[in-house]
């Protein structure tokens, strides 16, 4: 995923550094980046886990973890406040595919600030993403140390659950009117695989978070429904769609509320997210 | 005379056919035999039966009722202001309903109070409040001035749409935006047996009422002075139309969102078929509106399963070419 221009070039080009990001975009940096921040809260968490915190120069309104992030100056990422970004003099901005529009990245590039995109489909992709950041920032060891221990924990979980017969079918909703859910092509599916369960949505839709009908959910008939506490789901979901009280998850009272940030952020806390899901699936 | 009867029978038959087709489209595979056994030998434990009877059927009936309501109200509005550009949303109903729903989605009031899901309730309230203001602005010396009403409607709709835009812009979550998009383009996905009676009752009462007012309506098309001379109480007729349109459109919008174009185009289709002053125009207009909406709903679910495209997109895509065809047809006059 990361291509540092190496060989003879690297010696003479103390100043010029060429990176290729996950979208295949080529970025040229004048020097090794020393002032960075992220437009995505998940990467902000990665930066804090891997970097010397003095190299992180800003936070966005959605950043809330770790606590220390609140000491950094606030910069608006939606819409992007270009002047504020330039005033912070970053060498590089990290972001995730889908969070920052490409034209915003191009504009920043013209203004002299390269934007590095990451994208993830699996839990493993998160770890390679962390290692990429480590390499770009000259913190390979710290990154490797972190990913080694995370991988080990994931492997332990997988070993524990991989042979389960009759895997639980899990549906996670992100919004109830209309019904939007975590689709097949999200990391959520991989998290469930690790835990020996499966995403109730097997069909692959174009969008990662497809809209479904009541009938579709009725047909999926999930064993477990994630999206809110029993009370919240009763009020916001089953009250609106009383027909769905027929699904197994409702009948067997298997309704749970996962932490929004743990669910949605592909961050180093992914193991924490797995442990949370484990608690719901196998109480 | 014979032709009118034929159109009614044809519309009714087509409605039945499209409903039968619509009942077959969904996540559970269904054939005609399953539909009939669901209808006549309902087994509550069979989930396919349940889906047909409790999800698909109310949805189709809601689409039928809403399509009929919008077409019917469009016809009334065009007759009242004597202008073929009028539609039921002229009174600000659509924007008012959107604002009402958005206020709930954005958390200014709770989603449910005492077990009542509030977005449709607030949509209805928003529709009525905005309509009331538009009517007040379009009213002078105890009379509705159509031109003034038109302008008031346009101005106020723009203002209310800007307010919806402001709330949308300030929104902090993607989910809320999705709700707003769905709400502003219409959807029948929320349809249930508890919901259908409201718009259906409003429409039935209105259709019955205007069975007696059809003559006045046609005379109104001759212009205010001649209508007065022929003994029509123009002012009174206008009030009846206004009250009817705001209630019937209000319920349609509150249950399904503001679905565009039906209320504009179907009245023209009806007049194209039966002439500007045909008897039974209003009823046929409602029939064709319902049929058109059923077709659009079917298409939306076939093109983009499972959720279906927002219905307003389909009504415009398939409505506009037809409208253009009408525009170029020589023997159709677009005035009122």
Chain B nearest CA to A67, separation (Å): 21
CA atoms within 13 A on the CB side of B244: 25
- pLDDT greater at residue B201 or residue B174: B201
Q: Residue A6: is its pLDDT beyond 80?
A: no
The model's pLDDT over A50-86, given as tens digits with 9 standing for 90+, comes to: 999 999 999 999 999 999 999 999 999 878 999 999 9
Report, as an integer, the average pLDDT of A159-184: 93
Q: Residue B29: is its pLDDT beyond 70?
A: yes
**A8-150 with A169-281: one CATH topology?**
yes
Give the confidence band of B233 by pLDDT, cuts at 50, 70, 90: confident
Which chain A residue has the Cα nearest residue B56?
A215
Which chain B residue has the Cα nearest residue A217?
B27
Q: What is the predicted ipTM?
A: 0.84
Which chain B residue has the Cα nearest residue A246?
B47
| pLDDT on residue A11 | 44
**Could you give phi then psi for residue A183, rounded to 5 degrees?**
-80, 180
The residue behind tokens 């159109």 is: B7
Extents of the domains making up chain B:
2-45+66-328
Asked if B50 lies within 8 A of A243 by C-beta distance, the reply is yes
| pLDDT on residue A50 | 96
Chain A nearest CA to B51, separation (Å): 6
Chain A nearest CA to B80, separation (Å): 36
State which CATH number among 3.50.50.60, 3.40.50.300, 3.40.50.1980, 3.20.20.240 fits the domain covering A8-150. 3.40.50.1980
Extents of the domains making up chain A:
8-150, 169-281
Asked if A246 lies within 8 A of B47 by C-beta distance, the reply is yes
| pLDDT on residue B145 | 86
- Rounded distance between C-alpha atoms, residue B163 and residue B168, angstroms: 9
Chain B nearest CA to A184, separation (Å): 15
Give the torsion sign (CA, B326, B329, B335, B336).
Answer: negative
| pLDDT on residue B330 | 57
| pLDDT on residue A88 | 94
Q: Residue A10: is its pLDDT beyond 50?
A: no
| pLDDT on residue A9 | 43
Nearest Cα to Cα of residue B323 among B283, B267, B245: B267
State which CATH number among 1.10.287.4070, 3.90.1010.10, 1.10.10.350, 1.10.3470.10 fits the domain covering B2-45+66-328. 1.10.3470.10
Chain B residues lying within 8 Å of A260, measured CB to CB? none
Q: Is B121 exposed, middle or buried (0-12, 13-18, 19+ CB in 10 A)?
A: middle
Asked if A243 lies within 8 A of B306 by C-beta distance, the reply is no
Q: Residue B171: is its pLDDT beyond 80?
A: no
Give the confidence band of A13 by pLDDT, cuts at 50, 70, 90: very low
Q: Residue A7: is its pLDDT beyond 50?
A: no
| pLDDT on residue A226 | 98
The model's pLDDT over B30-54, given as tens digits with 9 standing for 90+, comes to: 999 999 999 999 999 999 999 999 9
Neighbours of A141 (CB within 10 A): 10
Report, as an integer, the average pLDDT of B177-183: 78
Q: Residue A160: is its pLDDT beyond 90?
A: yes
Chain B nearest CA to A215, separation (Å): 6
| pLDDT on residue A196 | 97
| pLDDT on residue B1 | 60
Q: Residue A145: is its pLDDT beyond 90?
A: yes
| pLDDT on residue A12 | 44
Report, as an integer, the average pLDDT of B240-256: 91
Asked if A213 lies within 8 A of B178 by C-beta distance, the reply is no
Pairing of strands A179-181, A169-176: antiparallel
Report, as an integer, the average pLDDT of A236-257: 95
The CATH code of the domain at A169-281 is: 3.40.50.1980
Average pLDDT of every residue of chain A = 92
The model's pLDDT over B68-99, given as tens digits with 9 standing for 90+, comes to: 999 999 999 988 888 888 888 888 888 898 89
The model's pLDDT over B289-336, given as tens digits with 9 standing for 90+, comes to: 999 999 999 999 999 888 888 898 999 887 788 778 777 775 666 554
The model's pLDDT over B257-276, given as tens digits with 9 standing for 90+, comes to: 889 889 999 999 898 888 88
| pLDDT on residue A57 | 97
Chain A residues lying within 8 Å of B115, measured CB to CB? 239
Q: In this complex, which of B51, B112, B187 lies closest to A178 when CB atoms are compared?
A: B187
| pLDDT on residue B334 | 52
Dihedral of CA atoms B200, B204, B207, B212 in degrees, nearest 10, equals -160
The residue behind tokens 């600030």 is: A113
For residues B258 and B124, is the Cβ–Cβ distance under 8 A? no
| pLDDT on residue B336 | 41
Give the confidence band of B160 by pLDDT, cuts at 50, 70, 90: very high
- Rounded distance between C-alpha atoms, residue B195 and residue B201, angstroms: 11
| pLDDT on residue B331 | 62
From chain B, which residues contact A within 8 Å (Cβ)?
A: 26-28, 47, 50-51, 54-56, 105, 111-112, 115, 117, 119, 175, 178-179, 182, 187, 189-190, 192, 306-308
How many percent of chain B have pLDDT more than 90? 46
Give the confidence band of A44 by pLDDT, cuts at 50, 70, 90: very high
Range with the lowest mean pLDDT among A125-134, A191-200, B176-185?
B176-185
The strands making up A36-38's β-sheet, listed across from edge to edge, are A36-38, A92-96, A115-118
Chain B residues lying within 8 Å of A221, measured CB to CB? 47
| pLDDT on residue B181 | 77
For residues B114 and B91, is the Cβ–Cβ distance under 8 A? no
Q: Residue A126: is its pLDDT beyond 80?
A: yes
- Rounded distance between C-alpha atoms, residue B69 and residue B75, angstroms: 10
Chain A residues lying within 8 Å of B28, measured CB to CB? 215, 218-219
Angle, alpha carbons B66-B68-B71 (nearest 5°): 105
For chain A, the straight-line distance linking the first and the last C-alpha, in angstroms and rounded, comes to: 38
Asked if A240 lies within 8 A of B117 by C-beta distance, the reply is yes
Give the confidence band of A189 by pLDDT, cuts at 50, 70, 90: very high
Q: Residue A8: is its pLDDT beyond 50?
A: no
Cis amide prior to B282 (ω within 30 degrees): no
């Amino acid at each position: 995923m990361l291509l540092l221009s190496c060989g003879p070039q690297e010696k003479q080009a103390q100043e010029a550094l060429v990176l290729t990001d996950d979208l295949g975009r080529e970025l040229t940096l004048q020097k090794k980046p020393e002032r960075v921040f992220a437009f995505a809260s998940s990467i902000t968490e990665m930066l804090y886990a891997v970097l010397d915190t003095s190299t992180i120069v800003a936070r966005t309104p959605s950043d809330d973890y770790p606590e220390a992030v609140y000491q950094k100056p606030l910069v608006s990422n939606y819409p992007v406040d270009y002047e504020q970004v330039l005033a912070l003099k970053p060498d590089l901005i990290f972001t995730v595919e889908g969070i920052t529009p490409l034209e915003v990245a191009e504009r920043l590039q013209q203004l002299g600030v390269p934007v590095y995109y990451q994208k993830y489909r699996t839990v493993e992709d998160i770890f390679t993403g962390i290692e990429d950041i480590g390499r770009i920032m000259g913190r390979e060891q710290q990154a490797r140390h972190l990913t080694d221990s995370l991988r080990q924990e994931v492997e332990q979980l997988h070993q524990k659950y991989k042979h389960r017969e009759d895997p639980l079918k899990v549906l996670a909703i992100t919004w109830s009117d209309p019904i939007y859910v975590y689709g097949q092509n999200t990391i959520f599916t991989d998290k469930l695989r690790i835990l020996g369960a499966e995403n109730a949505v097997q069909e692959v839709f174009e969008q990662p978070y497809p809209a479904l009908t009541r009938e579709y959910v009725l047909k999926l008939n999930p064993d477990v429904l994630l999206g809110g506490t029993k009370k919240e789901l009763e009020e916001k979901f089953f009250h609106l769609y009383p027909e769905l009280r027929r699904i197994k998850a409702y009948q067997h009272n298997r309704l749970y509320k996962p932490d929004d940030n743990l669910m949605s952020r592909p961050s180093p806390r992914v193991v924490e997210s797995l442990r949370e899901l484990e608690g719901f699936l196998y109480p | 005379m014979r032709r009118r009867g034929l159109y009614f029978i044809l519309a009714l038959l087509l409605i039945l056919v499209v409903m039968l087709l619509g009942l077959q489209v969904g996540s559970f595979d269904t054939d005609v035999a399953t539909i009939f056994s669901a209808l006549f030998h309902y087994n509550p434990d069979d989930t396919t039966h349940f889906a047909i009877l409790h999800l698909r059927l109310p949805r189709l009936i809601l689409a039928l009722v809403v399509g009929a309501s919008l077409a019917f109200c469009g016809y009334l509005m065009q007759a009242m202001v004597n202008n073929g550009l009028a539609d039921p949303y002229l009174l600000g109903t659509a924007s008012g309903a959107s604002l009402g729903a958005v206020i709930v989605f954005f958390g200014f009031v709770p989603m449910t109070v005492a077990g009542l899901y509030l977005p449709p309730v607030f949509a209805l309230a928003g529709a009525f409040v905005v309509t009331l203001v538009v009517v007040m602005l379009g009213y002078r010396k105890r009379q509705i001035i159509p031109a003034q009403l038109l302008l008031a409607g346009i101005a106020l709709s723009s203002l209310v749409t800007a307010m919806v835009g402001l709330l949308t812009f300030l929104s902090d979550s993607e989910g809320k935006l999705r709700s707003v998009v769905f709400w502003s383009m219409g959807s029948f996905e929320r349809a249930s047996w508890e919901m259908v009676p409201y718009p259906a009752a409003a429409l039935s009462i209105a259709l019955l009422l205007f069975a007696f007012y059809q003559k006045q309506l046609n005379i109104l098309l001759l212009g205010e002075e001649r209508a007065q001379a022929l003994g029509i109480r123009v002012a009174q007729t206008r009030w009846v139309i206004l009250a009817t349109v705001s209630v019937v459109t209000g319920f349609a919008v509150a249950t399904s969102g503001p679905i565009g174009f039906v209320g504009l185009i179907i009245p023209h289709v009806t007049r194209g078929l039966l002439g500007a002053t045909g008897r039974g125009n209003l009823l046929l207009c409602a029939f064709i509106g319902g049929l058109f909406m059923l077709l659009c709903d079917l298409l939306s679910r076939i093109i983009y399963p499972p959720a279906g495209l927002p219905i307003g997109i389909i009504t415009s895509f398939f409505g506009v070419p037809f409208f253009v065809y009408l525009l170029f047809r020589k023997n159709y006059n677009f005035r009122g």
